[in-house]
Structure formats: structure tokens, C-alpha cells
Amino acid sequence: MSVHRPVVSLHDEFKAFLKQLPTDRFLNMSTIAKFWSADLSLQKRYAQLEASTAMVLGKAQKIVRKLFTLSKRCPKQPRISLPRERPVGFWLGTAQSLLYCNEHGVLGMFSEEAKSCTCPVEQPTCQGTIPCVVGPSPNSCSQCATDNATRCGACHHGNVLHLGSCRPSIGASLDHYLNFDLDMPDAEVKFLLQRLDSRIEVHAIYISNDVRLGSWFNPAWRKRMLLTLKSNKNKSNLIHMLMGISFQICSTKNSTLEPVPVIYVNPFGGSHSESWFMPVNQPEFSDWERTRLDSIPNAQCYNWTLSLGNKWKSFFETVHIYLRSRIVTDDPTVNETLFYEPLDLDDQTSNMGYMKINTLKVLGYSMHFDPEGIKDVILQLDYPYTQGTQDAAFLMLLEMRDRINRLSPPAPQPLDLFSCLLRHRLKLSAGEVARIKDSLQIFNSKLPYAFPEPDLAQLCS
């Protein structure tokens, strides 16, 4: 007795489905799946095929069982094998391969990740035309070119067509690339800093070989700690503003030592030598505020808070903290600071107490940052997309430079923070940074009513 194959076939419907797919833009698997779901005729035939296959399987099982029952020579139960059902994903992938890997009548296999074809060995040129990507994202085309579907023919608002691809045009506002304005009055900032409010805490990574948070340590000699953000790895679309530092430190009871923290701030990354010294306790600059905590027994604990606020806020990527200990004395004849630095660390007789740092926080906020967009603006200095974009790029970079350098920390000579941003957050070479600086200075000198360029100290190499 024979078993017939299902009479329903997808061949004709599948060919009709392929003819309905648009060829004026690239179709990914999810887009083809939408067309597949919307084709009611195809869905009906596919359901018929599934039902027909199930019917054939049931009929085959019934016939084989009957034959097995009548047979006296079969030593074991028969195994029924039918062609494995092909899932919808197979048909979608086949459609994509037929669209883009069917040149010269030879079918290859299309890879959406690589946007290329794997062709048979005997015919290595099966790849056909792969159209441009049309989509809602800014870098996508709004339509492909009619004379060459592999290139963009039009772009979304805010982009310009350049050599067959869509590139961002110069933004109308600096906020498109970099936004470091905080709409918060000084009184509110001061209130949040005093409360050490968690809403203005920037979560950073604590690193130290000398001090473990929450553990007692011998405060002899200098201890080094740092809080860093690793933005290029973890937060490449953000830059960060420092508005305060806070740490809780405890000393053993009856200790005659007090901590002396020294702070260095690295604005955008790089080596420690590219950090600036924070002039705490200098004229007109903030000083540490200490608040005694009475709730911790058997220890003298204080909250140390340094509030920079809107006045002294500046960019930061890493905060380096050096902690030394000063011997507290009431002797008015002692004019110099006496640091606790015993010659022998193992000499317990010279021990004047232990310290413990429970918490260490940086206070501030993070801001939108578009490194690729800024690189694109820089590229237009030499290769403008359209007439007039070069001047717009110069003006945008000049505004960016001036507003960044305006947040230079207090120092006898303002620092060139803009070069640090180019060097470490955009990862430009030292030569490229120097060329951009020179180009901006030349352009600025030609502007009417141009202000003289300030003499800036170089922080980053």
C-alpha cells in the first residue's frame, strides 16, 4: 500500500510572495516577516500544508501499524520518518537569499550581520545588488537612489546627503553635541550638597591598593585612592560635572591625628599628570566642612564635605585623593604642619591611632555627549558636505571650546580643557588636536569684533 504526498505546495505562492517584496530598499528578516504575515493567501496555503502534512503522518502511522500487525517477520517496531518540517525562519532566510544572492542563476546564502553572500565554490559571484538601508534612525536613508540602489537618494531632516550616505548636518544648537547646562539655582544646589542627596551622586569605581573601605588602617604615610568612571568603556555618551566630594572617616578614640586630604581632578581621562590640583582652603575657594557623627560608638567619626556648587564646578573623569595624617597640637610655637610619618611602621610604640573610611562619594551630574557627532563636525573643517557648512562647523567648535574652557578650575592661568576633551574623549592624536586648535585660532582672528585669544595652560599632552 502506498502513501501519497500532500497535494498542497508552497512553490507557486512563494514565488508570488517574492514578486511582491519591494526591491528599492534593503529588507531585513523582521521586515520580510511582516510582509509574510500580511500575505493572507500565503498564510492560508501554509496552514493547509501543515494540516495536510499532519494528515499524511497520521495515515502513514495507521497503515504501518496495520502492516506490522499482519507481518510475522518484523523483529522490532518500525520507525516512521517524514521530511523534517521547515520553520518560518527558513522561508524568510530563503527569501532574503533569493533577493540578494541569486545572481547568474546560482543561489547562495545571505548573512544579514555581514550584509554579504556565501556563494557556492563553483560560482563565487552569486551576490547581486544589496540596496541601502531605509529606516527611521538618523543615519539611515529616507530612500535609496533611483540610479544606484546601494546608495542613499535622500536623508531625514537634520542630515545631509554626502557621497551616497547620510551624515548629520551642523546642529542648530550646541546641545545637540554637548549639554552641560544645569537649570538649578545655587540655593537648591547648596541644599542638595548639604544633604548629600543621592540624586546628585555620580556612581564611580573606587580603586586603592592602600585603603579598603570600611576597614581600619594605619594612617602612617600617604594613602592613595581614586574614584573613576571609565567613560570611554562604560558611558561613552556622557560627560560628567563635579560639584562636590564627600567622605566619612573615623579615628580611634583618643587619637591625636586628623586627616589631611589632597585632591587632584582629571577632567576627561589620560594619565595622572593630566590632572589639576584642587586649591582647597585657598582664598575665595571652598574649604572642607566637617560634621561630627555621634551615633558611632568607640570612634570619632566625621562627614567631610567639599562643596564646589555652580561657582567652582568643573568636568571630571577621575578624582585622585591623597590622604596624609597630621598630628594635632595646641602648641602655638609650632608653626609647621607635623605629619605622622614614623621611621618604622612596625614600631607599635609610635602608633597614634587608626583610621577608617566608611564612604567616599563624588557629587555632581552627567550630561549628554555625542563624540561621533563632534567628530563629524570636525571632519567638515576640511571636507564640508555642502557650501556654508565649513563656517558653521568653525562657529560651532568655537562656541564649544569657549564654553568648555570657561569651566576651567581656579588657577593663575586658565587650563585648556577643550584639548583634553579632543585628546581623550574623542581619541584624537596630539597632531590632530594641535591642527584643530590652530585652525580655530586662525578662523577666530578673521571674525569681526573678535576677542583676543586667552593664554591657556596646557594640561593634556
pLDDT of residue 453: 83
Q: Is 405 left (phi over 0), alpha (psi -120 to 50) or beta?
A: alpha
Per-residue cell: 266: 582629571
pTM for the full predicted model: 0.64
Three-class SS state of 162:
strand
Q: Nearest CA to 318 among 225, 387, 251, 256?
A: 225
Distance from the Cα of residue 181 to its chain's centroid: 20
Q: CA 83, 87, 89, 95: dihedral to nearest 10 degrees?
A: 50
Torsion sign over Cα 272, 278, 279, 280: negative
Q: Helix, strand, or coil here: 227? A: strand
In angstroms, rounded to a whole number, what is the distance separating the alpha carbons of residues 133 and 139? 9
The Cβ of residue 224 has, within 10 Å, a number of other Cβ atoms equal to: 15
Concatenated DSSP letters of 131-154: PPPB-SSTTSEEEE-SS-TTSEEE
Question: pLDDT per position in the chain (461 positions), as tens?
Answer: 333 333 334 567 788 888 889 989 999 999 999 998 888 888 888 788 778 878 887 887 788 777 777 766 666 666 766 667 778 888 899 999 999 998 888 889 999 888 899 998 877 788 999 999 998 876 789 999 988 998 898 888 767 777 787 876 666 678 888 886 666 777 787 888 878 888 888 999 999 999 999 999 888 888 999 999 998 888 889 999 999 999 999 998 878 788 899 999 999 998 999 999 999 888 888 899 999 988 777 888 999 999 888 889 999 999 999 998 887 766 655 545 555 555 455 555 556 778 999 999 999 999 999 999 899 889 888 877 665 678 888 888 998 999 999 999 888 889 999 999 999 999 999 999 999 999 999 988 887 776 778 889 999 98
Cβ neighbours for 275, distance < 8 A, ≥ 6 positions apart: 264, 265, 266, 267, 318, 320, 459
Q: Are strands 318-327 and 257-266 parallel, antiparallel or unpaired?
A: antiparallel
Quick one: angle between helices 29-38 and 40-70, nearest 10?
80
Contact (Cβ atoms closer than 8 angstroms) between residue 193 and residue 309: yes
List the beta bridge partners of residue 207: 226
pLDDT score, position 7:
36
Cα R_g (the chain), whole angstroms: 35
* Residues 6+ away with beta carbon under 8 Å from 18: 95, 98, 99
Residue 348 has what pLDDT?
53
The strand pair at 314-315 and 318-327 is best described as: unpaired
User: Of the candidates 211, 220, 197, 216, which has an alpha carbon nearest to the alpha carbon of residue 300?
Assistant: 216
